[in-house]
C-alpha cells in the first residue's frame, strides 16, 4: 500500500494544505535525507498522488511538489479507514 | 503504521499548520522592499500634496507618481527568489495587499478631483484598515488584524493634522512594513530564530 510509510503520509498531509512546496522545505519539515525523501516522493508521484514541477531559479534547479485531487482523496480515505477500524474495535 | 487516534490527530495538526505556512525569508525581503518604496512614496506625496494645496502643482500628478512607486516595487519584488512554500492562505493574503496598493492611487486621485484633500488620508486609512483587519480575521492572523486597527485609528490623527496626513502614512509604512515586517524579521532569521 502506498501509504504504509509514515513519511509519505506526512508529506501528503503537509501538501494538502499548500499550493506547492519546494523539496528543501519538505526535507526540513520531515527531518529526512535527500535520498530518502526523493525515493518517497517518486513513489507518490508514480501513484499519481502528487505533481512535480521543476524550475531553474537564478541558475539553480528547484523541485516543487503539489498534491493532486487523487492524493487528497487517498489521504482522506486513509484517515477514514483508521477511524473506521478504531470504531470497530470499540 | 499503527493507525491510531494519535496518528489521525497528528495528521490533522499537520494539515491545519500547513494552510498558513509561509517562507519567512521571502516574506521579510518583500516587506523590506514594499516598506521602503512606499515610505518614500508617501514622503514625496506629502511634498506634492503641500505644493498642490499651495496651487503650485496639479494634485493629480500624485497618481502617476504612485503608478511609478508600485511599478518599481513590483520590479524589485520580482527579483526576490521565489518562496520555498506557497500556502492557500498566503495566496489570499497576497491578493488582499495587491488590491490595497492598486486602489490607493485611485482613491487619492478621486478625492483630490472632488476637492476634498483634507479627508484623503483619513478616508483611505479607515477603508484600508477595515480591509486589512477583515483579511486578518478571515486568515486567522492576529498581527494582521492589529495592523488593520492601527491603520484605522491613525485616521483620527490624519483628520486632525490633515496637512501631515501623508507623513503619518510614511511613518506607518516605515515602522510597520519596513522596520517590523522587513528588517527585524530578517535579523531574527539570520540569528536562526523562527
Q: How many domains does chain A have?
A: 1
**Chain B residues interacting with chain A (CB cutoff of 8 angstroms):** 1, 3-5, 7-8, 11, 14-19, 21, 23, 81-82, 84-88, 90-91
pTM of the model: 0.74
pLDDT < 50 positions in chain A: none
Question: Where does the pLDDT of residue B23 fall: very low under 50, low under 70, confident under 90, or very high at 90 and above?
Answer: confident
Q: What is the mean pLDDT of chain B?
A: 83
In a domain, residue A20? The reply is yes
What's the pLDDT at A39? Answer: 94
Report the distance separating Cα A51 and Cα B31, nearest Å: 30
* Prediction ipTM score: 0.80
CA distance A13 to B124: 41
**pLDDT tens across B66-96, in order?**
889 989 999 999 999 888 888 877 777 777 7
Asked if A65 contacts A21 with a C-beta cutoff of 8 angstroms, the reply is: yes
Confidence (pLDDT) at B57? 87
- pLDDT reported for residue B2: 53
A68 within some domain: yes
3-state secondary structure (DSSP) of residue A52: strand
Q: Measure the CA–CA gap between B73 and B33, rounded to whole angstroms.
A: 7
- Asked whether residue A36 is assigned to any structural domain, the reply reads yes
Residue B194 reports pLDDT greater than 60: no
Q: What is the pLDDT of residue A81?
A: 86
Are residues B87 and A17, on separate chains, in Cβ contact within 8 Å?
A: yes
CATH number at residue A60: 1.10.10.10
Q: How far is A51 from chain B (nearest CA, A)?
A: 15
Residues of the domain holding A70: 6-89
Q: Establish if A66 belongs to a structural domain.
A: yes
Question: So what's the pLDDT on residue B136?
Answer: 79
| In-domain check, residue A22 | yes
What is d(CA B129, CA B145) in angstroms, rounded to the nearest whole number?
9
Model confidence over A1-17: pLDDT tens digits? Answer: 788 888 999 999 999 98
Grid cell for residue B75: 520590479
Q: Is residue A1 part of a domain?
A: no
The more confidently predicted of residues A67 and B17 is A67
Q: Is residue A67 part of a domain?
A: yes
Predicted confidence at residue B192, as pLDDT, reads: 64
Q: A24 CB near a chain B CB, below 8 Å?
A: yes
Amino acid at each position: 500500500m502506498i501509504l504504509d510509510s509514515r513519511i509519505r503520509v506526512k508529506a501528503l498531509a503537509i501538501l494538502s494544505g499548500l499550493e506547492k512546496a519546494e523539496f528543501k522545505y519538505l526535507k526540513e519539515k520531515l527531518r529526512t535525507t535527500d535520498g530518502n525523501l526523493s525515493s518517497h516522493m517518486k513513489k507518490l508521484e508514480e501513484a499519481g498522488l502528487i505533481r512535480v514541477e521543476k524550475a531553474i531559479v537564478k541558475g539553480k534547479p528547484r523541485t516543487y511538489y503539489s498534491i493532486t485531487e487523487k492524493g487528497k482523496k487517498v489521504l482522506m480515505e486513509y484517515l477514514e479507514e483508521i477511524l473506521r477500524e478504531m470504531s470497530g474495535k470499540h | 503504521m499503527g493507525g491510531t487516534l494519535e496518528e489521525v490527530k497528528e495528521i490533522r495538526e499537520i494539515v491545519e499548520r500547513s494552510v498558513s505556512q509561509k517562507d519567512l525569508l521571502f516574506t521579510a525581503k518583500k516587506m523590506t522592499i514594499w516598506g521602503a518604496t512606499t515610505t518614500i512614496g508617501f514622503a514625496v506625496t506629502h511634498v506634492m500634496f503641500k505644493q498642490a494645496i499651495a496651487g503650485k502643482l496639479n494634485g493629480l500628478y500624485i497618481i502617476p507618481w504612485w503608478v511609478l512607486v508600485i511599478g518599481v516595487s513590483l520590479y524589485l519584488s520580482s527579483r526576490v527568489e521565489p518562496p520555498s512554500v506557497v500556502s492557500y492562505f498566503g495566496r489570499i493574503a497576497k491578493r488582499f495587499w495587491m488590491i490595497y496598493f492598486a486602489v490607493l492611487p485611485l482613491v487619492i486621485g478621486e478625492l483630490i478631483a472632488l476637492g476634498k484633500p483634507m479627508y484623503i488620508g483619513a478616508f483611505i486609512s479607515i477603508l484600508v484598515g477595515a480591509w486589512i483587519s477583515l483579511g486578518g480575521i478571515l486568515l486567522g492572523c492576529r498581527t494582521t488584524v492589529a495592523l488593520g486597527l492601527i491603520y484605522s485609528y491613525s485616521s483620527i490623527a490624519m483628520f486632525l493634522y490633515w496637512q501631515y496626513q501623508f507623513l503619518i502614512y510614511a511613518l506607518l509604512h516605515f515602522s510597520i512594513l519596513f522596520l517590523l515586517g522587513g528588517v527585524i524579521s530578517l535579523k531574527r532569521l539570520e540569528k536562526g530564530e523562527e
